[in-house]
């Protein structure tokens, strides 16, 4: 299961890259809040990269910066070689984004939803229709492609959301806790989908706080805590460096080395 044939480092081009990424919010009541304090990572085509960390570690903020939704306070982010700060629109053309809390327009049908986002990506006419048909078949949505999204089940909605995210076949896919709120069947379908992207030679960067997911899917894992990357590597590399077997212990050990007491962190309501 975990013996995924991840590509040798340096072989495939980098699809998602962060260099010294920082984000500070100015909160009128609390002053400056540093959510992300300097993150470096690179994900290549054909690779699944997992960002593992507790709630509040800065995962969502990092992914939102990479996805051009938030502007970094410092550092650089590139999608498929395009600097997100310099040309956000071009970066978005090469990027698919999906988060666990993503919703759909309740009064549009799946087909209309796909057509809407296709048009936003500049697709029109026959090319758009053909791509929609392709996706409807690929995700077996034909039975409910013309009903309203509000009437769909969670699993069906999930399929529409995924189809929407890969409509323009982006080289880089960013998924923010994509299995949150899904039942077993739907989340296993999501895991299959992530694996299929890797087979297609695309890059997937996803965040999770579910250790088993990270263990099963990721070619490489970045452990993130308090806005910093504590370590990056394959599962075996991380195990070797920390001397622990289980991913949970690996995580605790990394936090301990960073000078934080993991139990105290958990007691503050930030469970792993």
Partner 1 sequence: MAERTNARGQFTAVLRSEFLGLVRDRRALFSAIVLPVLLYPLFFFGQRWLERVSRETLEARQVASRSICRARPRRSPRRYRELLAQEAQLRVVDGDASALQALEPELAKGTLEAYQREQAAASQVLASGADAFVAAIAIDEAPGLELRAWFDSTRDLSNEARRRATKALEALHAELAHEKLVQVLGADPAAGLEPRAVDVASAEDLSGAALGRLLPLIAVLVLLSGGSYAALSAFAGEREAGTLETLLVQPVPARTIVAAKFAAVLATALSTLVFNAASILGSMALGLGGLPGLGPESGGSAIAVGAGRLAAAAFVFLPAAVLLCALLCLTCGRARTFREGQNLLLPLMLLAVLPTLLATQQDVELDLLLAALPLAGPALCVRDALRGELAPGLVAWMYVANSAWAALALSRVGHALDAERVLSTAGDENEDARREVQSRAALRWGVLCVFAIYLIGGSLQAWSLVPGLVLTLLVLVPLLAWLSARGTARRAKETLAEAFALRAPNPLHVAGAVLLAPALQQVSMQLFAWQERVLPMPADSGTQGLLRELVAMPTWAMVVLLALLPAIGEELFFRGALYSGLKRDLPLWKCAAYEFVLFGAAHASIYRFLPTGVLGAVLTCVAARTRSLWPCIALHASYNALVALSDTWPVLARPELAFLSIAGFLALLARPRS
Q: Write phi, then psi, for 98 (nearest 5 degrees).
A: -150, 135
Closest approach of partner 1 to the CB of residue 56, in Å: 9
The answer to whether 102 contacts partner 1 (rule: CB under 8 A) is: yes
The answer to whether 271 contacts partner 1 (rule: CB under 8 A) is: no
Kindly write down the DSSP assignment for every residue of 197-239, as one continuous string.
HHHTT-EEEEEES-HHHHHHH-SEEEEEETTEEEEEE-HHHHH
Closest approach of partner 1 to the CB of residue 171, in Å: 14
Nearest to 84 by CA among 66, 62, 63, 61: 66
Name the one range near partner 1 by CB under 8 A: 46-54, 85-93, 188-196, 236-244.
85-93
Name the one range near partner 1 by CB under 8 A: 25-33, 129-137, 203-211, 221-229.
25-33
User: In sequence order, which residues have a C-beta less than 8 Å from that of residue 65 and are 6 or more positions away?
Assistant: 18, 21, 23, 36, 71, 72, 77, 84
Q: Write phi, then psi, for 25 (nearest 5 degrees).
A: -100, 145
CB-nearer residue toward partner 1: 174 or 238: 174
The two tokens of residue 9 are 């480092």
The answer to whether 97 contacts partner 1 (rule: CB under 8 A) is: yes
Q: Which residues bind partner 1 (CB under 8 A)?
A: 25, 27-30, 33, 35, 60-61, 64, 67-71, 89-90, 92-93, 95, 97-99, 101-108, 112, 116-117, 119-122, 124, 148, 164
């Amino acid at each position: 299961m975990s013996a995924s044939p991840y590509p040798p480092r340096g072989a495939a081009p980098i699809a998602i890259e962060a260099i010294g990424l920082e984000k500070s919010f100015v909160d009128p009541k609390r002053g400056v809040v540093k959510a992300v304090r300097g993150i470096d990572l690179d994900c290549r085509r054909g690779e699944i990269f997992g960002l593992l960390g507790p709630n509040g570690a800065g995962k969502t903020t990092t992914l939102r910066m990479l996805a051009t939704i938030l502007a970094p306070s410092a550092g650089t982010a590139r999608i498929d070689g395009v600097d997100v700060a310099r040309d956000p629109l071009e970066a978005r053309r090469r990027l698919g984004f999906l988060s666990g809390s993503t919703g759909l327009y309740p009064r549009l049908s799946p087909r209309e939803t796909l057509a809407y986002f296709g048009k936003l990506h500049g697709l029109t006419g026959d090319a758009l229709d053909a791509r929609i048909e392709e996706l409807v078949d690929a995700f077996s949505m034909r039975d409910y492609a013309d009903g309203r999204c509000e009437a769909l089940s969670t699993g069906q909605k999930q399929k529409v959301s995924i189809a929407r995210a890969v409509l323009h076949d982006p080289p880089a896919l960013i998924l923010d806790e994509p299995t949150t709120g899904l039942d077993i069947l739907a989340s296993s379908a999501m895991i299959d989908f992530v694996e299929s992207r890797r087979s297609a030679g695309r890059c997937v960067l996803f965040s999770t706080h579910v250790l088993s997911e990270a263990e099963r899917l990721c070619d490489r894992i970045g452990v993130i805590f308090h806005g910093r990357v504590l370590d990056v590597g394959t599962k075996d590399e991380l195990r070797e460096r920390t001397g622990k077997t289980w991913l949970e212990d690996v995580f605790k050990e990394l936090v301990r080395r960073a000078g934080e007491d993991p139990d105290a962190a958990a007691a503050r309501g930030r469970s792993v």
